Amino acid sequence: MISTILIVAISLAVLALLVTAALSPIETLSWWAGWTETEIEQNEVSCVTDRPCAHPADCQPKSVYIVYLSGISSLSGRFLIPREKVFVKGLAQHFPDAAVIDDVFPYSPAGLPLLASTRLLDQVWRFVQRIKLEGRHTVLSALIHMRNVFQVMISADHRYGPIFNHGAARVIEEALARAGYRQGSGAPVIIIGYSGGGQIAVGAAGFLKLHLQAPIDVIAIGGVIASDPGLHVIRRLHYIYADHDNIQKVGAVMFPERWAAMAHSEWNIAKRQGRIVFHKISRMFHAGARGYFGLVKFDGVTNNQRTLEMVVDILSQTPAQPQANGAAPAINQAEPSTVPQP
């Protein structure tokens, strides 16, 4: 009896996995076809110049704009898990002259969060969110991960990826506009992508570069990243990885174009040109209390602090406003920090 129930449960799980995989491109194609209510009119100029800021203070020019893209456990750009909130708050404290944006939902080409009322499975996602907020992790919680993982795979796909990434870039562009970004200002945009957010950051970079005419940098934290055309246009991809993080290794295995034998792929060309910089951080896992954003102290410091310090160090060495002679000052930092050697 028990074995029969187990077989049925496994069969249903496999069926759900296959159905989710098969339907993953539908949202991307429906957005491109204009079937979603958040679709931007085709004749609307993508320029962000004339769009109002959310608050008057946000309209003041910033030296740099930092966009944070959450990992695959995200349901909405408005809801970050507490560990990520601490990290983002730390960024804002270290760089008061920068605009730190964390309200982007990267796992939808229209930016439509899973909690949006127009979704067919709205009640399911809300139920799953309640479970997560209560600290309970069930099989239902894995539905969020599974759904978002397939969106990452769409972003990395050469057929559907350009469509998805174009939509993701528009969503990021709208968030930049709300923070007061002005097209043509040349203010750099730095996208920090955690886990699958790293792939979407790289995928959207090419479209952002085209629309904003500004330098784009990407910092991937435990990123699962394919060999994406966006690697051709970003100034740097800073790839932070932990020695115990096996999830980030998936990209190196799953995407053949990252293999050393594929010498002419975007990934390997960028590596040879020095535009991919690796930063190793020790004694960390991908997620949880011992993950990149863990808040439990080990040897007197949390992993969240160690990750933040490494990102702060990278940002402090990243050129801010490009100048005519090629030189550029680094991003202004509120206070110095001690950074562990990778």
pLDDT (tens digit, 9 = 90+) per residue, 101-115?
999 999 988 877 776
Residue 207 is predicted with a pLDDT of 95
Which residues lie across from 237 on neighbouring strands?
218, 276
Provide the token pair at 203. 């995928």
Q: Give dist(CA 330, CA 149) in Å, integer.
A: 35
Is residue 331's pLDDT more than 90?
A: no
Query: What does the pLDDT read at residue 140?
Result: 64
Contacts (Cβ under 8 Å, ≥6 apart) of 230: 165, 202, 203, 204, 205, 206, 266
Helix (H) or strand (E) run with residue 69 in it: strand 64-69
- Rounded CA separation 19/14 (Å): 9
More confident call, 294 vs 51: 294
Between residues 122 and 37, the one the model is more confident about:
122
Higher pLDDT, 54 or 217: 217
Nearest Cα residue to 36 out of 86, 111, 146, 102: 111
The third-level CATH classification (topology) of the domain covering 57-111+119-316 is Rossmann fold (3.40.50)
Instruction: Using the predicted structure, report yes or no on whether residue 268 has a pLDDT greater than 90.
Output: yes
| Structural domain spans, the chain | 57-111+119-316
Q: What is the dihedral of CA 176, 76, 293, 214, to 10 degrees?
A: -20
